[in-house]
Amino acid sequence: MTATTTAPAPVAARAATPPIRVVAVADSDSYLKWGAATLDRLGPDHETTLLVVRSPIAPTPSQVGAATASTRFAAAPPPVLGVAALRRTLARLAPDVLLVSATGPVAELVCEMAARLPQRPVLVSGLPGMALPATLKALRFRARCDVLVTHSRRERREYAAVAEGLGLSPALALARLPFLPPAPGTEGDGTDRAMPEVSRVVFAPQAKVPAARSQRERILVALDDLARTRPDVEVVVKLRAAPGEQQTHEELLPFDALWTDLARAGLVTESHVTFATGPLSDQLVPGSALVTVSSTAVLESVAAGLPALVIEDFGVNERMLNAAFVGSGCLGSLDDLAAGRFGRLTDAWAQDNYLHPEPDDLADVLGGLVARRRDGTLPPTDVRIEVARRGHRRRLLRAALRSTLPRQVLVVAGAVRHPVAFVRRGSR
């Protein structure tokens, strides 16, 4: 059984043209959140189905609940399918559009699968969250795609440049991150409103950065300092996953485990910080401020009218995944965190980075390509794959195995063959 919904449409519209059938395939918690929310933004003339492909990072039921919260899929969890079952399902559903909402290797596999269908769908992909810098690897994995969804003016410029360098020419749709409110249609995004009183600080971790244990501990100590000097402020760490749950990127040093170690050593007071899971939106209540090293959570916070702080102590660069925040008005230090000082995005930065006033054009882009699919003029994708030919077959095999073999087998095989790479694995 698949999680399929059709948004209501006027009777006349339904009679005039068949709905556009859109299937999204996700493989992890963050991609599932992006895929579900992207489907939710499509208009009433779209019939949507959400699927999860089996992989070692497939979301748990609680992660599925958090990822689909506030979408039309919240009441009907998507099925988890292996590669063979996914192939059969796609052949049966015959979608007009396939939204490939998955990490690079799985995205490549799913695109290859869809390209072999009797009448291939329009292939669409994108990256969840802030997808800067634009990388060759991200586009090579998605070389077959007709459409790449970008979420800011800056992303569209940078991905256009990378695509041109590869000899690719996907349509670059512009759409706000789907878990942000729709564009207001005017310049500015409310970022110049008065700073509200902060009574609650929410730290949103990243799985990959900072990587060093000592750096992560410094963040926790700063949170402890804030709680100690400001007993009127509630301090929360919003975990990306509960213990034992997988994530899109493996988190080797979870903050809850580090906090326990620090508390046992007497370096922090255990009761000063609480830990939470579930949707981030549940934490961004009035009076909150958001803290992170690098996270799309900053945008969710600002869009909700809340202040934010992006920690710069460990560097502001592509390695720390926070270079995009230069000039944002939200960069600050651990000293700022400990003192409860936060920032607000500047209008100029917001308009170029994710809070642009233009309405989404994804539905319009899809409409034109679906018309070509239905009249049989959608071109084959094989020529595009030449830009990603190096290692192509090896990557497809690896992705297929990851979606078929038990996790225990994959853990042993990966650790034996590539111990360091396996531990540090992670692809967009």
Q: Each residue of 333-374: pLDDT tens digit?
A: 999 999 999 999 999 999 999 999 999 999 999 999 999 999
Question: Each residue of 12-51: b (16+ CB within 10 Å) or e?
Answer: eeeeeeebbbbbbbbbbbbbbbbbbbbbbbbbebbbbbbb
The pTM is what?
0.81
Inform me whether the pLDDT recorded for 239 exceeds 50. yes
C-alpha 140/C-alpha 364 separation (Å) is 25
- CB count, 10 Å around CB of 161? 10
C-alpha 334/C-alpha 320 separation (Å) is 15
**C-alpha 23: how far from its chain's center?**
18
The dihedral built from the CA positions of residue 355, 357, 363 and 369, taken in this order, carries a sign that is negative
3-state secondary structure of 24: strand
C-alpha 27/C-alpha 100 separation (Å) is 9
178-188: average pLDDT: 69
Encoded tokens for 35: 């895929």
Inform me whether the pLDDT recorded for 220 exceeds 80. yes
Average pLDDT score, the chain: 87
C-alpha 376/C-alpha 119 separation (Å) is 8
Q: Each residue of 252-294: pLDDT tens digit?
A: 899 999 999 999 999 999 999 999 998 888 999 999 999 999 8
Residue 417 confidence (pLDDT):
39
34-58: average pLDDT: 95
- What one-character DSSP code corresponds to residue 209? S
C-alpha 18/C-alpha 374 separation (Å) is 11
Encoded tokens for 375: 């009249």
Encoded tokens for 26: 């996700």
Residue 11 confidence (pLDDT):
45
**Side-chain half-sphere CA neighbours of 202 within 13 A:** 27
pLDDT band at 388 (very low <50, low <70, confident <90, very high): low
Question: Each residue of 259-290: b (16+ CB within 10 Å) or e?
Answer: beebbeeeebeeebbeeebebbeebbeeebbb
